[in-house]
Homo-oligomer: A and B are copies of this chain.
Amino acid sequence: MTSQEHGNGTAPRSRPRGTAFLLAQVGAHAAARFAERVGVLGVAPSDVGLLRMISTRPGRSQQSLAEELGVVPSRVVTLVDGLERKGLVERRRNPRDRRNYALHLTEEGSRVMAGMREVGAAHEDDICAALDEPQREQLAALLEAVAVQQGLTEGVHPGYRR
């Protein structure tokens, strides 16, 4: 379980960059390219997760978003402020409990969400351009295995995490 085991005859190809470094490198690159793309739609990467979560389960409270994302509530305030200012999200008061808001996408917000799906597909094709379809599935499966073993929450980018 400890470090490098050079035994077993085969150590022909020294790995110049470790797998973990490659993961971080390629991952950061993918994130940066995605940021460029969604930037065209007028949103930041941190907005994207929020929009998707609100779209998936409309009426959510800011608190529930903060919990799932692993961020402090005040940050959700800032993010929702931005989305509201851009007219993508609406805060609706709940008459039963006037402490919390029910968050909903506006029509414009839904349009942007649709745009993001297109952007996501183009992004996917761009990043995986070096791989054919079986290779892409192989890569996805390997990453999925790592993600599960590392305890990553499905669909939540660690960039939110404290």
Interface residues of A (CB under 8 A from B): 1-4, 6, 11, 13, 15-32, 34, 57, 61, 64, 118, 120-131, 135-136, 138-140, 142-150, 152, 154-159, 161
Contact = CB atoms under 8 A, between A and B. Distances in A.
Contacts of A61: 2
Nearest to A120: B18
13 contacts: A3-B125, A19-B128, A19-B143, A20-B123, A22-B143, A23-B26, A25-B147, A26-B27, A27-B27, A127-B146, A128-B146, A130-B148, A131-B146
Given A125-B3, A148-B130, A154-B11, A24 B17 contact: no
A29 B152 contact: yes
Contacts of A26: 23, 27, 143, 146-147, 150, 152
Nearest to A63: B2
Contacts of A20: 30, 34, 120, 123-124, 126-128
B30 A157 contact: no
B23 A27 contact: yes
A149 B130 contact: yes
Contacts of A147: 22, 25-26, 29
Given A4-B121, A57-B6, A34 B24 contact: yes
Contact of A19 (B4, B29, B140): B140
